[in-house]
Each structure stands twice: as C-alpha cells, then as structure tokens.
Structure 1
C-alpha cells in the first residue's frame, strides 16, 4: 500500500493517523487501518481497543489510557506527532462517537499544526446490522443515549423526532450502571410513535468474545431489558422492518429498500 494522503503543508516532521479500528478484532479492520498502525512507531488508545490489536503492536511504543481521558489522550497524540509517526486508535469509526472530533478540536486550537489522516472503520451500527441481517438498508438514524456530554432532555427530544420519522433507529451507549434508566425511557418514547410489533434487535459484543444477538419486539422489549448494557447496540426497526427466520433457525431483521414496489421477485 502506498503513502496515505496527507496535507502538503506541515510545520512538523511527524504525522498523526486517527484510526478507526472497527468493532472487534483485526479481521474487521480496513487494510488502510492496518497499514497506518504498521507505519507508526507510537500507538496510543484506550486499553480495551489496544488489547484487541496486540499482534500489530510488536516493537512499537504503546500508550494506554482509560475511559474519561479522551482530552488528555488527544493532547498527547498531537504532542507526540510533532516529530514522530503516531496512530491514535479509536474503536469503530473514529468519526462516529469516536476520537476524531476531540483530536481535531484540540489540533485546531494548537499553536503547532501536524499533518493528519482520519482513517475510517466499521462503526458499531454497521457491525450490529450485519449480524441481524439487513435492518439498516435505507435511511436510518443513529443516536447515543449517553448523557455524559449531551443533556438528557436534548437526547429525549431527538429520540422523539427520530421515532416519528418511521425509519430504523440505532442506539449507541444504551445502558450503563451510571444511567440504568435511559434505555427504558427511550423505549417509552418509541412506544408513543411505533406499534408494539416493531422489531427490536440487540447485539452485544459484536465480533468480540461474548457476542450475542437478540431479536424481540417493541412490545416485548421489557423482557430483555436486563440484557442490554454498554457493550450493546440496539436497533429499532422502521415502518417496513420485519422479523425473518434465518437459515440457522435464529431470527433476524430485514428492512426492505422498496424493490418490491418496482420489481417482481
């Protein structure tokens, strides 16, 4: 693979790759992401994401940090990238609830600019959708239920608007010990606008150890609420979404794109 795209102007000798590492292991990463890590002499990221990339980290300086240290991680990656090649690792896609935003915000305010590339990855909604079948085949909405950075009243307003649209909605960060009631509130809002038979898919640990796929309906979602956690993505179907039986006798969700209105098959 050739040199990755970088700005022609730079005030430093280093460079920064902001890498989306996908939902799980190396198998779900893009070739560009693997190349960027190989080309870097320093890799920085959340401990859990780096653990999954261990085979790619031999011979590199590895800087691990924990949740809640995103700003410090962004600052350090920029400082290191002034004279080194650095890979900032973000789970999923770095630009979707990932590290790209905070790194670029910090970089935008920094006195010294470093050349950077944002490398896309498979985001959690896509990973969960693949395991469910095809619930996000057309228009859809993604929303995070985490109120750490967004006020809960804003999230609730957005949920109300999204569920009125009639398209599938993928929910990130649906439930944690710090916010155990946000998921139930989201389902209560959904029930105001969607019928009880609306399909709901819950995917835990997509493409990781402990992977689990659950399919239910909005009317019965309370029966599996205790199985929803921070490692889950929840996809609530749209007006045309339906549950179907997979070849392995498990259930999945499909949202027709509209071919049936134009073609006979």
Structure 2
C-alpha cells in the first residue's frame, strides 16, 4: 500500500525536542496539515511544502483534507502538539478512515511525540516518577460530569495528576472547581507545578501549592502537575519519591 497518512506528534513545540523520526518525516512530506499554532511551531520546516492550516474545532475538516491529499498521491502528515495519540488526532484519523471505508486504500503511520505531562515534568524537577494520570478539563468532547468523576477518582487514588487544557474563555472557572475536588483528598499544601509554553518562547515555570495557586496566571497554553501525598518541594524543584530506601 503506497498511500500512507502520517500522524506526527511534534512534542512541546521546539525543534530540538522533537523526535528524530518526526523531524525526518516532516522533512519528507509534501503536505502538512494542522492547527495554525502547531504549524507555527515547525514553520522553519515548511519550506517548499503545501501547508493546510485550520483553527481549533475544525479537527474533522483537517482530517478530511489530509485524507484527500493522500488519495491524490501526496505524502501527507497531520501535525499534533505533544503526542499524536494523547488528546491528538490519531484516533480521529482511524475512525474517519474506517467510516469512509478507506482502510484498503490508506495506511496510517502514527509517530509519537513527547506529551506535555512529561515535558513539563522535566522542567519542574521530578514530580512524575511512577503511576500518574492525565486529565483534560476541556468538556468539548467529554461531559463535565464525567471529567469531575474521573478527577475525583484519580485524586482519591493518590495519583500525581497532570491537568491539560485547564482554562479557556469559555471555561473560566473549571480549574477552580477541579482543584476543589482534588482538595477533598489532598492537603492544601500539596505542591503544584504550573508550566506555560514549555520549551517555547515566553516559557514560564512556577512551583506553588494548591492553596497559593494563582488562577489568573493560567490559560490554555498551561499545564499543571499536581503532586500526590508524598510529593514535596526542595531547592525550588518538585520531587515525588520513587520509593528507594536511601
């Protein structure tokens, strides 16, 4: 099968933090499809390529356009921030190709990338070293009730929690409610790492606590890492003990 659609996770947004495989695939592709913000992050790799940019909420259209390019024989990739699977476009691509009955005509090649939980954790110290979970506060695809249920179970189970999509203009108060649910099972002195624009221009890193969290400093480009009951702050870094006896 010659027709292949690439789903590429570009990592946190800086070229040096992209996997070599992702970099080489982008270089080799003729067509790049993606959300405008993600295209901007790899703009220097877009020379002499057809670039299709679409805004937030146009994921299905992006996928359809990419499929059309592949069917016309062009080597095409859909770019995803972080990883191409986690909150990315890979699942949608498989679903759409199945629904269009194109599985015998288009092969999907998923290229993973460094997701925000891991890139942000590396900037904060070592908050994620064992079991953890990711929770997106975006209720665009998942109901708010289900998000809160998942969040409460994760907090009760004492996971370190990486919070994606914590805030937007349409969801100004979701994070406050989410932290109230977490605080049922965590001390208000629990460390919280706040990273905006990880490994990109205007990067900002803050380590604080549930009690001292500044909600006004958080936006859609921010990821939060909420520690578990063992996480502590030392020398301006978040550390979750792995369990070794020292």
- State TM-score, norm by structure 1: 0.89
Q: 2:148 matched to 1:156?
A: yes
Offset, 1:87: 1.1
Q: In 2, Cα distance between the equivalents of 1:111 and 1:158? A: 34
The equivalent of 1:6 in structure 2 is: none
The equivalent of 1:132 in structure 2 is: 124
Q: Secondary structure at the match of 1:193?
A: coil
Q: In 1, Cα distance between the equivalents of 2:17 and 2:88? A: 17
Q: Which runs of 5+ in 1 are unaligned?
A: 1-9, 246-250
Q: 2:228 matched to 1:243?
A: no
The equivalent of 1:165 in structure 2 is: 157
Q: In 1, Cα distance between the equivalents of 2:7 and 2:44? A: 19
Offset, 1:208: 0.9
Offset, 1:138: 0.4
Between structure 1 and structure 2, the one with the greater Rg is 1
Q: Which runs of 5+ in 2 are unaligned?
A: none
The equivalent of 1:206 in structure 2 is: 198
Matching of residues 80-229 of structure 1 within 5 Å: 80-82=69-71, 83-113=73-103, 114-221=106-213, 224-229=214-219
Return structure 1 stretches of 4+ with deviation > 3 angstroms. Answer: none
Backbone CA RMSD of aligned residues: 1.0
Q: Secondary structure at the match of 1:37?
A: helix
Offset, 1:225: 1.1
Offset, 1:167: 1.8
Offset, 1:219: 2.0
Q: 2:25 matched to 1:36?
A: yes
Count of aligned positions: 243
Q: Tell me if structure 1 keeps the 8 A contact 2:94–2:108.
A: no
Q: Secondary structure at the match of 1:32?
A: helix
Offset, 1:196: 1.6
Q: 2:9 matched to 1:24?
A: no
Offset, 1:54: 1.4
Q: Tell me if structure 1 keeps the 8 A contact 2:136–2:163.
A: yes
Q: In 1, Cα distance between the equivalents of 2:75 and 2:4? A: 5
Offset, 1:14: 2.4
Q: Secondary structure at the match of 2:84?
A: coil
Q: In 2, Cα distance between the equivalents of 1:169 and 1:112? A: 38
Q: 2:34 matched to 1:45?
A: yes
Offset, 1:111: 2.5
Matching of residues 44-83 of structure 1 within 5 Å: 44-82=33-71, 83=73
Q: In 2, Cα distance between the equivalents of 1:177 and 1:109? A: 33
Q: 2:223 matched to 1:257?
A: no
